[in-house]
Amino acid sequence: MPRTKQFNEEQILIKAMELFWEKGFHATSMQDLVSHLGINRASLYDTFGGKEQLFNRAFEHYRSISGDMLKILFENERNVKAGFQKLFDKAIEESIEDSCRKGCFVVNTTTELIPGDDKLLQVLNENKFNIETLFSNYIQKGIDNGEFPASFDAENTASMLFTFYNGLRVITKVNPNPNRLKSMVKVALSVLD
User: 158-161 — which CB contacts under 8 Å span 24+ positions?
Assistant: 158/132, 158/133, 159/132, 159/135, 160/188, 160/191, 161/84, 161/135, 161/188, 161/191
**Low pLDDT (below 70) residues in the chain:** 1-5
Cα-Cα end-to-end distance for the chain: 66
Map out the domains of the chain as residue ranges: 1-58, 77-192
Contact 95, 172 (CB under 8 A): yes
Q: Which CATH class is domain 1-58?
A: mainly alpha
CA distance 120 to 116: 9
**95-151 tens-digit pLDDT:** 999 999 999 999 999 999 999 999 999 999 999 999 999 999 999 999 999 999 999
> Considering the chain, what is the average pLDDT of its residues?
95
Assigned fold of 77-192: Tetracycline Repressor; domain 2 (1.10.357)
DSSP reduced 3-state for 40: coil
Torsion 26-54-56-165 (CA) sign: negative
Q: Which amino acid is at 107?
A: V
